[in-house]
Amino acid sequence: MNSVKLAEMDWMSYRDRVKDGECTILLPVGAIEQHGPHMSLNPDVLIPEHIACRVAERSGNMLVAPPIAYGYKSQVKSGGGNFFPGTTCVSGRSLEEYAYDVILAYVAHGNREFIVVNGHFENSMFLVEAADRAVEHARLSGIEIKVVLLSYWDFISATTIEKVFPEGFSGWAVEHGGVLETSIMLKIHPELVDMSKAVDIPPAEFPPYDVFPPDPAWVPSSGTLSSPAKATAEKGKWILDECIAGICRTFG
């Protein structure tokens, strides 16, 4: 048994690993959200978990917590919206409290350093609030902790973007279910991708505002916001290599 996944350890080995507070806990946070007809509902969970595991293996001094699979409500202009069957989201309040509780539970075991690896854009500010409150709560109890919050796509350089999107990059917002996520999934979980079902559409265009209730007519019927047709496992490897190396270099 030599896993970087802490849930696969026995409790005594885990206790001995973390009790001095020197081990960093990587906490992947994702979402269950439709990603088009060609892909499973869970890329936002599997991608940050995969990245976290590779980072932990390289570092030797990190453990990966079980991911928080449910994320904040899918938004029309970044995730297609919260009205597709299968898209299963929680409120910002629930996500914030859940992440806060999980971090503080790990603090109680002796952990002092955390890296929250986000895989779903909409989660961001609720994770900020969870991290901020957890740090403050611990501080008031006389414990100093540090929580790094990152979204993996922020580690992708302009050079890699040019390589992955030689015809031009339409922007992160419309990458939902597009080349980026599909390429990574082809690399790490090809069994969860069926390119014969990929829908080739131009990047979605949205008005410069949001409206509630959301209008499903704004969203391409496939649920993807751009075309995944040019996705390849090789592109997925370029993206992952850069994200993993960048996170290791910064925090390893």
Q: Give catalytic residues, as residue numbers.
A: 33, 35, 44, 120, 122, 176, 181
Alpha carbon separation from 3 to 84, 97, 112 (Å, rounded): 36, 28, 20
Selected range binding Zn ion among 41-49, 88-96, 132-140, 207-215, rule: CB under 5 A:
41-49
Question: Could you say which residues in the range 178-237 bind Zn ion, by CB under 5 A?
Answer: 181
The yes or no reply on residue 122 touching Zn ion (CB under 5 A) is no
The yes or no reply on residue 44 touching Zn ion (CB under 5 A) is yes
Alpha carbon separation from 22 to 11, 26, 59, 147 (Å, rounded): 17, 13, 12, 14
CB of 176 to Zn ion, least distance (A): 6
**Nearest residue (CB) to Zn ion, 73 versus 112:** 73
Residues in binding contact with Zn ion, number by CB under 5 A = 3
Alpha carbon separation from 138 to 65, 116, 129 (Å, rounded): 19, 17, 14
Radius of gyration of the chain (CA): 18
CB of 45 to Zn ion, least distance (A): 9
**Nearest residue (CB) to Zn ion, 49 versus 181:** 181
The yes or no reply on residue 96 touching Zn ion (CB under 5 A) is no
Spatial contact of 249 and 58, defined as CB atoms under 8 Å apart: no
Q: What share of the chain is helix, strand, coil (3-state, %, to 5)?
A: 50, 10, 40
Amino acid identity for residue 122 in this structure: E
**Nearest residue (CB) to Zn ion, 28 versus 43:** 43
Alpha carbon separation from 175 to 25, 73, 99, 142, 202 (Å, rounded): 28, 17, 25, 43, 11
Nearest residue to Zn ion, using CB? 44
Mask 162-181, x = binds Zn ion (CB under 5 A)?
-------------------x
Question: Could you say which residues in the range 53-92 bind Zn ion, by CB under 5 A?
Answer: none
**Nearest residue (CB) to Zn ion, 104 versus 214:** 214
- What single string gives the DSSP state of each residue in 126-192? HHHHHHHHHHHHHHHTT---EEEEEEGGGG--HHHHHHH-TT----GGGGTTSHHHHHHHHHH-GGG
CB of 190 to Zn ion, least distance (A): 17
Give the Cβ contact number of residue 91 at 10 Å.
11
**Nearest residue (CB) to Zn ion, 68 versus 104:** 68
CB of 24 to Zn ion, least distance (A): 25
Selected range binding Zn ion among 40-48, 147-155, 164-172, 202-210, rule: CB under 5 A:
40-48
CB of 228 to Zn ion, least distance (A): 11
DSSP 45: H
Chain contacts with Zn ion (rule: CB under 5 A) = 43-44, 181
